Amino acid sequence: MLKIAFYGKGGIGKSTTVSNLAAIFAKMGLKVMQIGCDPKADSTSVHHGGKRMGTVLDLIRKYNDDFSLEDIVLKGDDNVLCVEAGGPVPGMGCAGRGIIAALEKLEQKGAYEVCKPDIVLYDVLGDVVCGGFSMPMRKGYAHEVYIVTSGEKMSIYAAGNIAMAVDLFRKRSYAELGGFILNCRDVPDEEKNVKVLAEDFHSSIAGRIGRSRDIQEAERLNKCVCEAFPDSPAAKEYTLLAENILKKWGIKAKC
């Protein structure tokens, strides 16, 4: 079972990247679980035609422990197994601690053993990396971390902070840095600046997604671009990224 965490500044296109990769992996015949670790709980909505699903924390608040695994793992229209960690009531509690509680509950319910996914994708808010938001990096969770960034100044700044956290935690046998995913915003010297950032952490640009109206239109249709416009340049770029990830880990598509 391969587990990968995706981090990035809010609004950088991280959830779009994760959702498209999940849908592509599923099309390849792999069993995929996508876990949204953002308090907004909208990571997996594209797999359900735009509808948001209930969260693990909502169930914990309402039922304590009296709910089943089927209540928190829902299969999307594209066969992606979806989980939303959720967050605290606005203005109360710590979102990071909420992620810890949700992921621990998934383990207690035997999510990985029962569902037996080939790939688990964690979609994690990453403007800051506090103890809770670093949970998917910890030993036993993700094997590696990918950081989604553009060439914009604040995005690179956030990506650098996340990379520093990954480097620090790596010494505790946490997840390795898999690379940076460039989600283009067409700013000057964009690819050059992200390449310099990657080199600072002895890493590389693992994938490049060009700025595309097809992605925006697919989101308006509540679909992944690989579903809405499978022959588009964006869909091909996401597919190439997915293939490269599988190749790196020696995983073969099943169909």
Structure tokens at 108: 């207690």
78 has catalytic annotation: no
247 has catalytic annotation: no
Cβ(100)–Cβ(56) below 8 Å: no
Catalytic choice (3, 9, 105, 109) = 9
The rounded radius of gyration (Å) of the Cα atoms in the chain is 17
Q: What is the largest CA-CA distance in the chain?
A: 53
189 has catalytic annotation: no
Catalytic choice (31, 40, 75, 195) = 40
Q: How far apart are CA 68 and CA 59, in angstroms?
A: 10
| b/e burial code for range 17-42 (CB count within 10 A of at least 16 → b) | bbbbbbbbbbbbebbbbbbbbbbebe
Which residues, other chains included, contact 203 with Cβ-Cβ below 8 Å and sequence gap of 6+? 163, 177, 178, 179, 180
Catalytic choice (42, 71, 118, 127) = 127
Helix, strand or coil for residue 144?
strand
9 has catalytic annotation: yes
The catalytic residues are: 9, 14, 40, 127
